[in-house]
Amino acid sequence: MKSQGEWWHGETPEMAFDGQLSTAMKIVEGFEPLDGQQIQAKQTILEFAEKHKDSLHRSCPSGHFTGSCWVVNSDASKGLVLLHAKAQKWLQPGGHADGDGRLQAVALKEALEETGIADLQVWPRAIDVDVHEVVDKRAKEIVHLHLDVRFLIKAPQSAVARRNHESLDLRWVAREELNDPRLALDPSTQRVANYGFALADQLMH
């Protein structure tokens, strides 16, 4: 297995589908919180997963794991946000684990699908964790939790982003644009962006 000091891409053995909840929990257990929100979110995720052995699957009605990411360009000067069609707001790429405990692979897959950028690479350690409520009027359980584990992903120099059906627009933003009122990024998205930019600065400069 490669060390935690190397970027992973979708074809490495470590990124193969893993249906074990314990794999997702180990990723969260290994995450080192840097603020109070992260401490609380980590505890909530681990306690929830202990009680809900099906939490890797969206069929778990009260909540389930998701993987999302902060995608930076090749020199880490900008990150990618998408205008989510359903949520009607700017967010980072991400989506449901759908049974895969290797949450790095989940985040990478979602980034590829939602940005259209090939040759993405993911840093294997989580950079943020978050728990938030989601309202789905079509479901019997109207409110459920997303247990979101987040990663840093870097795009190649030749990257050209293309949105899919899940978003209305894509936009590269610099760190100083995170507070732009026209984007209206929520605190959770700003947090993963700031931690993503900070780590990218360490790794790529």
Question: What is the Cα 203 distance to its own chain's centre?
Answer: 18
CA 52 to chain centre: 21
Query: Which segments of 99-140 are extended strands (E)?
Result: 121-122, 128-135
Cβ burial, residue 35 (10 Å; 0-12/13-18/19+): exposed
What is the three-state SS of 141-184? CCEEEEEEEEEEEECCCCCCCCCCCCEEEEEEEEHHHCCCCCCC
Q: Give residue-wise pLDDT tens across range 97-154.
A: 999 999 999 999 999 999 999 999 999 999 999 999 988 666 665 789 999 999 999 9
Distance CA 90, CA 85 (A): 9
Q: What is the model's pLDDT at position 135?
A: 80
Task: Name residues whose C-beta falls within 8 Å of residue 141's C-beta, 6 or more positions apart in sequence.
Answer: 61, 62
Domains in the chain, CATH or no CATH each: 13-204 (3.90.79.10)
Residue 3 has pLDDT above 50, yes or no: no
pLDDT of 86 reads 86
Query: pLDDT for 67-80, tens place per residue?
Result: 999 999 999 999 99
**Mean pLDDT to the nearest integer, 163-179:** 95
